[in-house]
Structure formats: structure tokens, C-alpha cells
Homo-oligomer: A and B are copies of this chain.
């Protein structure tokens, strides 16, 4: 068929949707997403990425600087955030209404995100009461494409003595998620940093208010993104 007659705005394919999502995650801090990182995250060979990058930049979804990497255009970012909204609403719906646990829900959402209609996503969102966070604590973009940018610190880097709220868990690995849930380490819990061993050693924390202690190795402590909470004390209520 004549290229001039082809649909100017064809719907995005499954593959394209997944590429945009990983490019969003890899270039989130303002940098470039590298070909090899995209390839690793999608479990695809680097030349496949080079090929897709060419098509996506021709379509105007990304900007490509050869040998440096890619960034999303405004249009690409909108499309990526739409997919992330879908994914996170699906994850929450599946856990809240269909008995999924937070370790198993990611894989299912990864497929469904490409098949649900806008209508279905919005029906789920309203059934859920227009939630702000998914089961892993990640913020859900609005339908208009806005997303909360929280300033969080990994538990691994938090100073001893601080009081923290665990906000996001930065993995989708189900073994790690199951272990963390067993330990009571889910978004929303409060804790204080008791001590940290040197040479990349574990961090010991005390859960609030139970006071139960947990020793968290560095690998996991880097996945636990926390927000600093003002310590209770005389006059704290006045703030």
C-alpha cells in the first residue's frame, strides 16, 4: 500500500508500548536510555533495539542521539505514562478484588496492560476509588498524564536514628516481594533506623509502633525507598 495513504496515527503495538515503558524508566532522571540497557530490560538482542529505535524516532515518540541513547518526546512520554497508569491500576485491582498477592501481580498486569480498553481501566479506577498508589507503593499517573515525583531515599542510605515511612518497593521479583511481606515490610510501615554495619553491611531497623527489629541486607535495603518522617517529641504535634 502507498505509504502516503497509510494511517497517520496507527495504534501502538504491544512491543512499542513495552519499549516506551522501559525507556521511560531508564531515562526518568533526565538522562538517556542506552541501547544495551533497553535490550537487557526487554530481554531482546541489542540490534533489535537499534531497529526499533529507528522506527520510534521516525514516528516521533523518541529522540535518538546515535551512540548516546534515547529520550522520550512529549508524545512518547504521554504514551508511556498511559501504559504505566494501566499497569498500576491493574495491579491494584487484581490484588484488591481478585486475591492476587503483590508478588504475582506484575506478570499478569504486564500482559493485560496491552489488552484493556480505556473504559475498562477507568471503571477499575473508579471501583478502586481513584487510588494514588499501586501495591508496591508506586504512584499511579492520572488519566491526564501527571505523576507524583516523590523525594525518597533508599533505606540503605538513610542515616542511623532517622524515623522513616516505607513508601515504595523497587522490585517486581516475586521471591523478594514475598520475603519482604513476611517481614512486614510493605508500603506505609513506619520504622526507625537502629544501626548499620560497615563495609556495605546490613541495616537494622525497629518497626513502629511494635518495636520489632529487622536486619535488612544491603541488596534489599537498596530497594526500600523511604520518606523521612519528623520524629515524635515535645511540641511535634504543634507542627
For residue A116, CB closer than 8 A to chain B, the reply is yes
Which of B99, B117, B123 contacts A123, CB < 8 Å?
A: B99
For residue A3, CB closer than 8 A to chain B, the reply is no
Task: Verify A116–B112 contact, CB threshold 8 A.
Answer: yes
**Chain A contact surface mostly:** helix
A109-137 CB contacts (< 8 Å) to partner B: 111-112, 114-117, 119-120, 123-124, 127
Interface size bracket, A side: 10 to 19
Which B residues lie within 8 Å of A104 (CB)? Answer: 119
Encoded as 1 (CB less than 8 Å from any B CB) or 0, chain A from 84 to 108 comes to 0000000000100111100010011
A-B contact pairs, 14 of them (CB 8 A): A94-B120, A97-B97, A98-B123, A98-B124, A98-B127, A99-B123, A104-B119, A107-B117, A108-B116, A108-B119, A108-B120, A111-B117, A112-B115, A115-B115
